[in-house]
């Protein structure tokens, strides 16, 4: 029996022993009464959010959350954010697509502006890969990072993907194609466009970000070594122009006279003097970080999302004017694309661990915490397994062909997710009971085979705690998230100093118009 299944059964037995009764009518009414009492005690928090922490579980669909909860500790349990008092839904469509990608959705989340599929930090005036039009700064979106920096706050982001990948890139870059992470992916016809990696290191707001952690060494430094435990990501950009943007980042901080550190493994991260470090660059792999189940936890290995998040908070919390931090659990999506449900659920529980650690370090009277996703995925939760079943196990046998199917499957998937064995005259569904469906490398079956499992177009959940968390209360457009952050933290268009400038400029304009009108009137007399 799988360890997770044993733990769940043990939990159910313990609950039964404690209550000394079945879960009858009175049991469930008591559960509801307790929830009602808790709900009635809650009061809205209308403090200004000195700090904002936005957690993005990439590809974390509602079914992913439910399955991960069960995987973690059973049906009765909750992931770290599931007891937040305010919950809403976000519509994830792009300007030009029903089903989005992470670049466009991240642009919506971080800038408050929806855009076109696979476009980063630009509004819908820019078609995909249109370099020339993208150089027009009128179409550049500013973001929660730049708003926070303008308000004097410390800023940072942490991700398990490359630091130039679609989601983090939308915090700081303006690029008509998410693939242009380094020069090798930029077409010769688009040579006037700066790649995403250079924008991070050379331009604002990227160069002013206090904490940057994730993978992506091969886009920041040219010709890095293809290591056994740290392979080149052949799918991603691999720089060949002789750059060393990590060295350039260090030189910039040295020139500023700032305290800084560059770290590239667990040992170096653990030795960071957070009290005396204002800028931290942590690049822990050539491509994305390794999936948590296979991660090297030795001193020479890679940190967990929780370890990176805790270190980031220790540095940012020194800011007297507050901070803004974005944390991405980016490998949830990566696992789903390959149809590896076990890996996706494991990454989601590690995402939850990072949030739990964060909640123990902050004061939610002045810190707004938001947990959401950028888009859904192809994962399906199938009927009709018994309560307490291993979520990665068998649901039941099909009433059509008598062959078992798993509780979790995918609507789309790659060739490893093939559900049928094709013969000369017929196709027979593969018997999943002949495989270890709980294994991290097992690929759940998919109904439609393509190159990989695709994103879904459904709404994602948003959970919030802290100042103005109650603004998430219904079904919202995805770009609403940035608007709430700006309003709660009084940054961006809600910055009181910015509002004062606008007010003063309005008065000056009014005065000028008045004078002109008086002069015209006088000339007509």
Cα distance between residue 443 and residue 432, in whole Å: 10
Rounded Cα–Cα distance for residues 339 and 442 (Å): 8
66 labeled part of a ligand binding site = no
Q: 455 a known binding residue?
A: yes
Per DSSP, the residues of 257-311 read T--EEEE-SHHHHHT--GGG-SEEEEE--SSSPPPGGG---STTS---HHHHHHH
Could you tell me the two tokens for 48?
């200004």
Rounded distance between C-alpha atoms, residue 172 and residue 324, angstroms:
13
* Residue labelled with tokens 């952690």: 213
Was 223 annotated as part of a binding site? no
Angle in degrees, CA 154, 213, 367, rounded to 5? 40
Q: Which DSSP symbol is given to 421?
A: E
Q: How many helices (H) and strands (E) does the chain have?
A: 16, 19
Spatial neighbors of 220 by CB under 8 A, at least 6 apart, are 163, 164, 182, 197, 201, 239, 243, 244, 245, 246, 283
Q: Rounded CA gap, 322 and 47, in Å?
A: 14
Name the maximum alpha-carbon separation found in the chain.
98
Q: Is residue 288 part of an annotated ligand binding site?
A: no
What are the CA-CA distances from residue 280 to residues 90, 167, 216, 250, 358 (Å)?
32, 20, 15, 10, 18
- 274 labelled binding-site residue: no
Q: Is 470 part of any known ligand binding site?
A: no
DSSP letters of 342-388? Answer: HHHHHHHHHHHHHHHHHHTT--TTTEEEEEE-S-EESEEE-TTPPTT
Ligand-binding annotation for 340, yes or no, is no
> Does the annotation list 167 as a binding residue?
yes
Q: Which residues are catalytic?
A: 102
Q: Which residues are annotated as a binding site?
A: 58, 165, 167, 328, 333, 337, 374-375, 455
**Known binding site for Zn(2+): residues?**
58, 333, 337, 374-375, 455
User: Binding site residues for Mg(2+), as ranges?
Assistant: 58, 165, 167, 328
């Amino acid at each position: 029996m799988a360890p997770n299944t044993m733990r769940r059964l043990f939990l159910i037995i313990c609950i039964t022993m404690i209550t000394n009764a079945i879960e009858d009518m009175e049991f469930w009414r008591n559960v509801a009464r307790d929830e009602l009492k808790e709900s009635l005690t809650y009061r809205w928090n209308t403090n200004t959010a000195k700090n904002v922490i936005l957690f993005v579980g990439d590809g974390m669909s509602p079914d992913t959350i439910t399955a991960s909860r069960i995987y973690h500790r059973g049906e009765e349990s909750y992931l770290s954010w599931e007891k937040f008092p305010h919950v809403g839904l976000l519509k994830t469509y792009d300007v030009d697509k029903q089903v989005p990608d992470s670049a466009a959705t991240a642009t919506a989340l971080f800038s408050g502006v929806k855009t076109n599929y696979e476009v980063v930090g630009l509004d819908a005036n820019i078609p995909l890969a249109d370099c020339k039009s993208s150089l027009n700064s009128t179409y550049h979106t500013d973001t929660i990072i730049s708003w926070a920096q303008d308000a004097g706050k410390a800023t940072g982001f942490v991700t398990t993907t490359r630091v130039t990948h679609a989601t983090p890139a939308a915090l700081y870059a303006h690029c008509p194609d998410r693939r242009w992470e380094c020069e090798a992916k930029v077409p010769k016809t688009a040579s006037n466009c700066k790649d995403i990696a250079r924008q991070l290191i050379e331009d604002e707001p990227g160069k002013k970000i206090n904490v940057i952690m994730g993978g992506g060494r091969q886009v920041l430094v040219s010709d890095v070594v293809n290591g056994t435990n740290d392979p080149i990501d052949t799918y991603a950009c691999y720089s060949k122009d002789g750059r060393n943007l990590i060295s350039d980042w260090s030189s910039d901080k040295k020139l500023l006279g700032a305290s800084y550190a560059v770290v590239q493994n667990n040992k170096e991260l653990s030795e960071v003097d957070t009290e005396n470090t204002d800028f931290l660059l942590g690049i822990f792999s050539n491509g994305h970080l390794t999936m948590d189940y296979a991660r090297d936890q030795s001193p020479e290995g890679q940190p967990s999302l929780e370890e990176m998040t805790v270190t980031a908070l220790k540095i940012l919390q020194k800011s007297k004017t507050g901070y803004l931090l974005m944390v991405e659990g980016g490998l949830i999506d990566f696992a789903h694309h390959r149809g590896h449900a076990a890996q996706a659920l494991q990454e989601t529980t590690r995402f939850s661990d990072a949030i739990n650690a964060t909640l123990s370090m902050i004061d939610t009277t002045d810190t707004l915490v938001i947990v959401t996703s950028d888009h859904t995925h192809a994962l399906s939760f199938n009927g009709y397994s018994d309560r307490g079943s291993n979520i990665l196990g068998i649901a039941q046998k099909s009433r059509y062909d008598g062959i078992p199917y798993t509780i979790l499957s995918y609507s789309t998937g790659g060739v490893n997710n093939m559900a049928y064995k094709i013969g000369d005259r017929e196709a027979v569904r593969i018997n999943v009971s002949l495989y270890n469906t709980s294994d991290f490398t097992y690929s759940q079956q998919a109904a439609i085979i393509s190159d990989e499992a695709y994103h879904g177009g459904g709404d994602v959940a948003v959970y919030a705690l802290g100042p103005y968390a109650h603004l998430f209360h219904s079904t919202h457009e995805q770009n609403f998230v940035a608007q709430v952050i700006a309003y709660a933290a009084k940054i961006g268009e809600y910055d009181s100093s910015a509002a004062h400038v606008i007010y003063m400029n309005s008065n000056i304009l009014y005065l000028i118009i008045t004078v002109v009108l008086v002069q015209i009137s006088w000339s007509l007399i």
